[in-house]
Structure 1
């Protein structure tokens, strides 16, 4: 069975085609708790969560989302037990080895937001191969936030701007929000219109603190491995019912 249908073709029960969020960001939370609830090791939850990534990527492409950012591994996640971290670092390799050919076929562009330096060689090799092979694709952007933390991202951006000021290539008076955007890891991507977080947690966990300034938030008690396409569409439909005023009336 192929992943993808026709983009922006709306079937009964799907969200309104002309008001779909351009960029949806997802904090995929609750894999370990899903596994524990079933008497399984935490790594079983992460493996189940990988299957949900596929389902939701299909769902996003089906309704015409332009960018789907998945928070896969944070800079704080290195504090977890070594066995769990090692398993998490194998998931991108496993996922892409299975799905990359169809991602290419369906015009999906894979990107990574985060720091490559700390990643194991096998993880980095798999991600960079996917990025390289899909870089000219013009369909859905599937952006993995991997070894990513928003505070570090902003501090690194400020340091880079300071260096440019010291070199004389940047006038401090020219610094504004748009310029700062260009120094962030997400440069070139629109800010998320909608943030989804699973597992009942109501916090951002150091994820896209700058970019989410005016995003709509949608939370669910469901754990990520049990998050379904219909729940995803529920979140989009809720987004479509809200009025985005950006501080105005």
Structure 2
């Protein structure tokens, strides 16, 4: 890639620090095979394992996966119930493997809506892996970007009423400190499988300067080669963050 003068355009040659993924297409994958939708979710879990393993090997710092949105409660009750069972069984069977591979697990979202037994499993899994220093695996469950911003503002208002902060202190940085991802870098790369091209209320605040990558591949078929293709697409882009292309070249601002 080069500009009109023939000088190479500076592109991002590093792997993304944080990759966020909407894993879309599990149900359609199953339906195409005349299988119950839940079988697609089981196949999706297998794809997750492969992608987590790959990201860990590629030294990605954070991988965020949208597992269950706050809107997914609108799905048929039987499917929601089976998804909760799958979530719990996956936690039980995978947390030791994550811990063994130095992966830290974080669950973000309104966890109070889950059954108490599942909340206990979440707390135990997070505590077991809390001190790991490799990949941070973030699972967004009963999460919504609007919910995240709303709960942050509610906490800020409460802090103002308690005279802990002043209204004049409200800045973008302050709001960011109250989001559930406050301790994480913002996503560099957002991937959505399944052919849809929207963010569906996922990390709305955090995706402000994220590079997007969409693919028609259904999530159970999304493999390590597809992940590398998305990463290569990211690495071939010029990230300007409001600067001009000329500024990026002249000042080496990335």
TM over 0.5: yes
Does 2:194 correspond to 1:199?
A: yes
Report SS of the residue matched to 1:214. Answer: coil
Report SS of the residue matched to 2:111. Answer: coil
Over the aligned positions, Cα root-mean-square deviation in angstroms equals: 1.2
Does 2:186 correspond to 1:184?
A: no
Does 2:29 correspond to 1:34?
A: yes
Does 2:206 correspond to 1:234?
A: no
1:57 corresponds to: 52
Gaps of 5+ in 1: 1-16
Report SS of the residue matched to 1:221. Answer: coil
1:175 corresponds to: 170
1:41-67, CA deviations, whole angstroms, 9 ceiling, x for partnerless residues? 111101110111100001111111000
The number of residues matched between the two structures is: 233
2:38 corresponds to: 43
CA contact (8 A) 1:61 1:140 kept: yes
Aligned counterpart for 1:130 among listed residues 118, 125, 147 = 125
For residue 97 of structure 1, report the CA deviation from its aligned partner. Answer: 2.0
CA distance in 2, matches of 1:53, 1:170: 41
CA distance in 1, matches of 2:219, 2:237: 24
1:172-199, CA deviations, whole angstroms, 9 ceiling, x for partnerless residues? 1111111111111111111000000000
1:79-119, CA deviations, whole angstroms, 9 ceiling, x for partnerless residues? 10111001111122222222222211111100011011101
For residue 18 of structure 1, report the CA deviation from its aligned partner. Answer: 6.4
CA distance in 2, matches of 1:99, 1:165: 41
1:200-239, CA deviations, whole angstroms, 9 ceiling, x for partnerless residues? 0000100001000000000000110110100001000100
Report SS of the residue matched to 1:192. Answer: coil
2:9 corresponds to: none
Q: State the TM-score, normalizing by the size of structure 1.
A: 0.91
1:72 corresponds to: 67
CA distance in 1, matches of 2:187, 2:88: 26
1:113-157, CA deviations, whole angstroms, 9 ceiling, x for partnerless residues? 101110123322222211010011111101100000111111111
CA distance in 2, matches of 1:30, 1:210: 24
CA contact (8 A) 1:92 1:126 kept: no
CA distance in 1, matches of 2:205, 2:179: 9
Q: Which has the larger radius of gyration?
A: 2
Report SS of the residue matched to 1:19. Answer: coil
| 1:3-42 mapped onto 2 (5 Å cutoff) | 19-42=14-37
CA contact (8 A) 1:73 1:148 kept: yes
1:4 corresponds to: none
CA distance in 2, matches of 1:46, 1:53: 10
